[in-house]
A and B are shown apart, each in its own frame.
Chain A
Amino acid sequence: MEHIRTTKVEQVKLLDRFSTSNKSLTGTLYLTATHLLFIESSQRETWILHHHIAAVEKLPLTTSGCPLVIQCKNFRIVHFVVPRERDCHDIYNSLLQLSRTAQYDELYAFSYNPKQNSSEQVKGWQLIDLAEEYKRMGVPNANWQLSDANRDYKICETYPKELYVPRTASKPIIVGSSKFRSKGRFPVLSYYHKDKEAAICRCSQPLSGFSARCLEDEHMLQAISKANPSNRFMYVMDTRPKLNAMANRAAGKGYENEDNYSNIRFQFVGIENIHVMRSSLQKLLEVSGTKGLSVNDFLSGLENSGWLRHIKAVLDAAVFLVKAIAVESASVLVHCSDGWDRTSQVCSLGALLLDSYYRTIKGFMVLIEKDWISFGHKFSDRCCQLDGDPKEISPVFTQFLESVWNLTEQFPQGFEYNEAFLLQIHEHVHSCQFGNFLGNCQKEREELKFKEKTYSLWPFLLQEQKKYQNPLYNPDFSPELTLLEPNTVSFNFKFWRNMYHQFDRSMHPRQSVLDLIMNMSEQNKQMEKDIKELEAKIKRKNSQSDAVLVKEPLQSAPPAPMALKTSPCFKKEQPLMPVNDSVRTIEGSNTADNRYSEFMEEFSKAEPAVVSLEYGMARMTC
């Protein structure tokens, strides 16, 4: 609180960054310990979590006041005009302080209290059980076992404790191999395909330099290929561009020499590094933030940013991986430099393409827990949770979500979850409201006792899963272990409007077919219910008297046939993320924030709902 110089400024204007007219909303700006709050004269509230603030900028003074622009990690950009320069300066300085956190226990997750008791808290953390997940895949088995080598994070600090390795990989081999790998991240199992008996394994780059070799590491790879009875050959995928990998040799790192390893096929796939990705996103944001963007400027900006090309590269790599497993039954070892960015992307997307379980709501949570959280994707550094090195920030996880979104666009029936689910996860990766994504690795999380002090996000998402359900989902579309074959032609990669313009009112689409379908399904459910009621009534009537039936009917039934002709379901816009103020399960963050969902809610207020949705929705937060 000591950072807050001013807690309240009146007569502040909020501008729409895409509107060409200079219309603005006037209201009062408040600073709390956790949020920036703007209340319009119409009582509409905009909440911005301090942790979400990526940058604050003060623009030169104008006649109407001092402009203050705030850019958030969830791609919200707000443009305030504060009447007095002095106030603006105070807010600016306060926000600079508040948006920077020095240590974990100052993060919102440590003060956030969702009114759960401690047993609920524990249960929440137990919701995702990775041991259970490996069992589901079919390990341990005759070829793969759980290793206790990393019991006390002795071999690798950034790996989890429980690691699955080939049975034939003895402890000395593991230790030897880990010494030959960057950050000790030796090859371990990420996904096991029980039909093909093939595995996705992951590790970091070898410390091969120009000529070094390590027998244990060679044995390790051999053990992996031997653990696959259907194909003795295995692929080693270096997800980096070849030049990057070659450059690393000068630093004593590098890539596997095919001659030293038996039965491997080596392959570069050319995904760029975190710095390229960071600047690419920056360029994309510049393009998408342009007012009145023409098609040509958009297209050339998109091309120059390279952003969709990078998303494509990630998916191409995943497709390569998946084909090796599904078509050739070959195991694949994936690595990049340290094996926590590109490797996480490719392994998790590969698994998602191979296994329909990860296309369900619960399964997607498991996938993130496994390939991202437990294997040490550096969420804290990449998302800048604590004030740190700006060069460590990179939208690697955002790219993963965007790849998944592109897949959901290509296969509307293949996924149980919808876009809102992905957006919500993205929101909380940056919100620091839940413990899941805090820190850089499991060891750190244990030391800081996150599980005791914070809450897990997943039970909250599950609780409100109805709003994350894709109405087009067809479980028969992809039975267990059915391969999803995406098309990675550039044309098929789309700009993710609802991610990058989620908070830009004037950019929202006016309707969504999915919402219509959702309403139709609801309508059908309602009709089924009515039929049951009617049937029950008929039975009752029949037992009383047969004659009354014909006269009575229509009163009890809703005028459904009429309803279809005029298609009431088309009249009402359902929000992408339905909103209901009465239930607030996740509280604290921005309770009202101009996003798409709220925008749509206004419409539904304007026009009384014909189809009443039964479910009460929790408010979306931050």
Chain B
Amino acid sequence: MLGSGAKAAKPSFVSYISPEEIHIKEPIEKEVNPRLLPGELLLCEANTVYKYIQEDGSNRGTYGKLVCTNFKIAFLDEDSASDDNEPQFKNKIVGENDITLQCVDQIYGVYDEKKKLLTGQLRKYPEKLIIYCKDLRVFHFCLRYTKEEEVKRIVSGIVHHSQTPKLLKRLFLFSYASAAPNNTDGRNQTVMFDTLEDWRDELERTKGNVKYKAVVTNEGYRVSEKIYKTISKPPYELLKTDDLSSSLPSLQDIQTAYTRFKQLFLIDNSTDFWATDVKWFSLLESTNWLEIIRRFLKKAIEVAECLERQHTNVLLIEESATDLCCVISSLVQVMMDSYSRTKSGFQSLIQKEWVTGGHGFLDRCNHLHKTDKEEAPVFLLLLNCVWQLVQQYPPAFEFTETYLTVLSDSLYVPIFSTFFFNSQHQKDTNTTGESLKIQSGPFKFLTVWDWSVQFEPKAQALLSNPLYAEKPKPDKSQRKTTRFKHQRQLSLPLTQTKSSPKRGFFREETDHLIKNLLGKRIGKFINSSDEPHNSFREFYDSWHSKPVDYHGLLLPCIDGPEIKVWAQRYLRWIPEAQLHGGGTIATAAKILDLMEEVQSLQVKMDEEHSQAISRDVQAVPMLRNSARLSSLFPFALHQRQSIKPALPTSTWKDLEDEDDLVKRDDEFVDLTGDML
């Protein structure tokens, strides 16, 4: 079941066009060529491919060329050639009609109006190709007007390169790294945690150096078994152990839930859309995805409570300590450490807990299509949980939901090394190791944290939250008085050393513990204390009754109604969900206007004080005068108009659903004459 999709293909397919309906536009005379990245090779192409504007079941669309390279599948039409149709929020690497090979989720072929999943060898070639993407875009290509050999070549090419098992070394990452001229070292302020210094600095920052020291014990990856992570305070205090594998949903649960959940948004046409709309809430419930998010948030609150209130260390146990542990420990840090709510802090956190922490991105994202069994959207789950916090406490985060959305998209862009290795060890051996054909020595990979690779500054501005309240730097006079509190607050959440399994910096004191834990699932007997469930709620309530400090502890509200769907990520390509001039973007635009007003007023005030110091206003020009921005901004698609007054199809469904009169007994009261 894993990976293959819990929901089977929809039984029938509505064909939008018949050949005679199409008025064939002049095929493109102008030769359009794909823009290729360094190291990118054109593998196959097909002309006169018709791409539907999939929204409304009409047969509108455009002709163009479909190409497949070792990096992406791209559709090129006249618009893309002319380039004056630039979207406002543009990714420099992956265009609107580009699908990286790793972003392809599933490919369906349409044969005689029937949909069939395409995986390996093809015997017959379809007249239509539907590509479902991991970022939830859906592409429909009609191949009826394409030459037969071209159809064969492009279909088998696309299926082969995006759906069949691949060697790690064949990832575009490597061709790009060897071909791209002197890559910039874009580590910015993000701590990469790949040197001992980084760990020492982190301990210094978190005041953990009192009790912990960074040690190199895993030089050459000798301690290889990954068994635990620790969030701990002084060494000889109470320790609570939590076996996550028994107290949280399994990887398989997560994968199953997400597979169902994403089906709600991978919409073929508006008929499908309205069909799901009728029973939206129960469909949402049946996926179980939001409930899983809630369970993880709840667990994170429980761990935070142990650290904050009971001053207990928590040892998170999981078989590999690189999945659920990563989610929980990251969440706890986001909740307790305001540094993790800044952009660089969050990025460092992901470096620490996930990238060097040994989360198996390659397997979990199934980038190489080796096996479906390992696939599970664990990192996406973290982003979903963090999004809940972001939308509950916008001023506490330096980044926006757009940041989280583009970060989730970056999971599938194989020019960054960040999400394309299972562990630091794997990365190291593949970077330096067998110096195969490489003449220029070790590869230099890009990191995703260098956002300028993907976005122009104008677009990058949308990743920063204008509402974010920076942490006030305490002046020295204040420090003395607040010191105690300050330290306490910091020391709890932040004194976290992590045992990076392959290249760990274990605390010496816990080394014996490792041996004891090896191979055993001890969670059950240590866990016997089984804290009363009330204590978590009480903890939340007492935190809730105090004024919120955006730089202190932040606990999410996890009551059912408060866990929401991350609309920007999941609904962004669905025009039916679009609001013209509405949605939260309107609020953001207003805030930016106000900020600018404040700043210009300040400039003016400064001028009045004769020293005109003009401050840089980081304005987001595309949000200005934004009375009618689409709610799907910055991802909005085409506009859609309905002319005649019509009831939404879902309502029609209700009307047609004429169950027997008996069910409508209420209306019989009506007949007594006194009702409306």
Interface residues of A (CB under 8 A from B): 19-21, 235, 241-244, 247-248, 250-251, 268-270, 272-276, 288, 292-300, 302-303, 308, 312-313, 316-317, 319-324, 327-328, 336-342, 391, 410-414, 471-472, 474, 476-477, 485-492, 495, 497, 505-507, 509-511, 513-514, 516-517, 520-521, 523-524, 527-528, 530-531, 534-535, 538, 549-550, 553-554, 557, 560-561, 564-567, 570-571, 573, 603, 606-607
Contacts and interface: CB of A to CB of B under 8 A. Distances in A.
Given A316-B651, A557-B605, 18 more contacts: A20-B537, A21-B534, A241-B655, A275-B669, A293-B561, A300-B282, A338-B675, A411-B579, A474-B627, A477-B581, A487-B579, A490-B650, A506-B544, A513-B394, A513-B467, A517-B591, A567-B469, A603-B548
B590 interface: yes
Given A20-B533, A524-B601, A485 B580 contact: yes
A251 B602 contact: no
Contact of B281 (A341, A490, A509): A490
Contacts of A471: 590
A323 B644 contact: yes
29 contacts: A19-B541, A241-B664, A295-B285, A295-B293, A327-B643, A342-B676, A411-B581, A411-B586, A412-B584, A412-B587, A413-B586, A474-B627, A477-B581, A487-B576, A489-B280, A490-B277, A490-B278, A507-B559, A509-B557, A510-B392, A513-B467, A516-B395, A517-B587, A520-B595, A527-B598, A527-B601, A560-B601, A565-B472, A571-B469
Given A275-B675, A510-B392, A517-B590, A293 B548 contact: no
Interface string B647-676: 110110011001001001011111101011
Contact of B676 (A21, A340, A489): A340
B612 interface: no
Nearest to B628: A477
Nearest to B294: A295
Contacts of A298: 559-561
Contacts of A338: 675-676
Contacts, number: 281
Contact of A487 (B472, B578, B605): B578
Nearest to B667: A244
A530 B608 CA distance: 10
A299 B643 CA distance: 33
Interface string B462-498: 0000010110100000000000000000000000000
Nearest to A474: B627
Contacts of B560: 293-299
B647 A491 contact: no
The 8 A-B residue pairs with the shortest CB-CB distance in the complex, in nearest-first order: A298-B560, A323-B645, A490-B280, A299-B285, A293-B560, A303-B281, A337-B676, A567-B469
Given A235-B645, A241-B655, A573-B547, A516 B467 contact: yes
Contacts of A235: 645
Interface stretch (B98-106, B507-515, B563-571): B563-571
B447 interface: no
Contacts of A534: 605, 608-609
A513 B587 contact: yes
B666 to A, nearest CB: 4
B608 A492 contact: no
B665 to A, nearest CB: 9
A29 B63 CA distance: 76
A243 B661 contact: yes
A509 B658 CA distance: 42
Interface of B: 277-282, 284-285, 288, 290-291, 293-294, 392-395, 467, 469-470, 472, 533-534, 537-538, 541, 544-548, 550, 557, 559-561, 563, 565, 567, 571, 576-584, 586-587, 590-591, 594-595, 597-599, 601-602, 604-606, 608-610, 627-628, 631, 642-648, 650-651, 654-655, 658, 661, 664, 666-671, 673, 675-676
A550 B587 CA distance: 40
A410 B579 contact: yes
A320 B647 contact: yes
Contacts of B587: 412, 472, 513-514, 517
Contacts of A524: 594, 597-598, 601
Contacts of B643: 327
A565 B599 CA distance: 11
Contact of B605 (A322, A505, A507, A527): A527
